[in-house]
Amino acid sequence: MRSQSINFRELARKISLVENESTGYEAILKSLCLSNTAPIIGITGPPGAGKSTLLNALLDIYQKKEKKIAIIAVDPTSPFNYGSLLGDRIRMAKFFNNPNIYIRSLATRGSLGGLSEKIIEISDLVRSYPFDYVFVETVGVGQSEVEIAGLADTSVVVLVPESGDEVQTMKAGLMEISDIFVVNKSDREEADKFASNLVKLCHSKASLNKTAVLKTVASKSEGIEAVVDQIDKHLSGDFENVKKPYLLAKKALKIIQKKRMQDIDQQKLLEDIKASYQREGFNIYGFVEGMF
């Protein structure tokens, strides 16, 4: 276990500066030391699968081992008022005062892919502190959560037995990003059959033949030790995250786009759209062309 203490208040302030791109945030990012940093474990899967419940059960085990854990929980943002409930902090309330556990919620702010647009910067910032593990929980929007595969050292996909009818669909999406499958709520009917089908699908492709399939009942803390063991086993192996460069390339493109568009006033653009779109003959392509 890393012995250094962690200044949570300092970390929280820095995260806020980076998330809101306040004065000085770029200097913070450029000063980060990212050698010997904590691994990132991604927790993803469709809504209702029990991702937060599983994460709570994992935290119960890690706190007994006195591990320093950071949780970055990403919540969806309204596309209309840009608000977000940030409800994962409520679900993890019992860990609020634990000196070894840091919890931070982030809003997607319109970003697709199940993550926040600032997730790379913030995860790097968090990893620069002496945590043992950093968990990132995505919003839970199904197949579009593939970005987690590029961010995480180990990706855990949480499913439920009722997902059995969608296995072929998942094969083209979630099947490609998982290092560990967790069939949660496995006390339900068809759990064994669904888990067996997942094993067959995982072994049907050479690139997936090391994917573990585990069964849990997270609400009862059943099967959680096996998940912890499998996470540590995967992290100790020689697995290169080949998807990371693609995620970083996308991020670099976004940074370039943002810097080139920094003179565009988004609020004024919205007001101009409101004033124009109901006029007869309005055409969005012509509207945009007129801005150049």
For 210, list phi and psi in degrees, rounded to 5: -105, 5
- Identify the pLDDT of residue 152: 85
In a 3-state reduction of DSSP, which class is residue 41?
A: strand
Compute the distance between CA of residue 181 and CA of residue 85 in angstroms, rounded to an integer: 28
Provide the CA 245 distance to its chain's centre, in angstroms: 17
Instruction: Give pLDDT, residue 83.
Output: 44
- 3-state secondary structure string, 49-70? CCHHHHHHHHHHHHHHCCCCEE
The per-residue pLDDT for 171 is 55
Give pLDDT tens digits along the chain (292 positions). Answer: 455 789 999 999 999 999 888 999 989 998 988 777 899 999 988 888 899 899 999 999 999 999 999 999 887 554 444 444 455 555 666 787 889 999 998 875 544 444 556 888 898 899 999 999 999 988 665 444 556 667 888 989 899 998 755 555 555 566 667 889 999 999 998 899 889 888 887 776 555 446 899 999 999 999 999 999 999 999 988 766 676 787 678 777 877 887 788 788 888 899 999 999 888 888 988 888 877 6
The full DSSP string for 173-222 is TGGGT-SEEEE-STTSTTHHHHHHHHHHHHTTSGGGTT-EEEE-BGGGTB
* Domains, the chain: 8-248 (3.40.50.300), 266-292 (no CATH)
Separation CA 44–CA 182 (nearest Å): 10
Q: What is the pLDDT of residue 138?
A: 82
Q: According to DSSP H, which parts of the chain are helical?
A: 8-19, 25-30, 51-64, 88-91, 119-127, 147-151, 167-171, 191-202, 224-236, 244-260, 266-276, 284-289
Question: pLDDT by residue (tens digit) across 216-226?
Answer: 999 999 999 99
What integer pLDDT is reported at residue 156 of this predicted model?
92
Contacts of 53 (CB under 8 A, 6+ apart): 91, 184, 218, 219
Smallest Cα–Cα separation from 227: which of 217, 239, 241? Answer: 217
d(CA 54, CA 28): 33
CB 129, CB 70: distance < 8 Å: yes
Paired with 161 in beta bridges are: none
- What whole-number distance in Å separates Cα of residue 46 and Cα of residue 28? 34
Interacting residues of 276 by C-beta distance below 8 A, sequence separation 6+:
282, 287
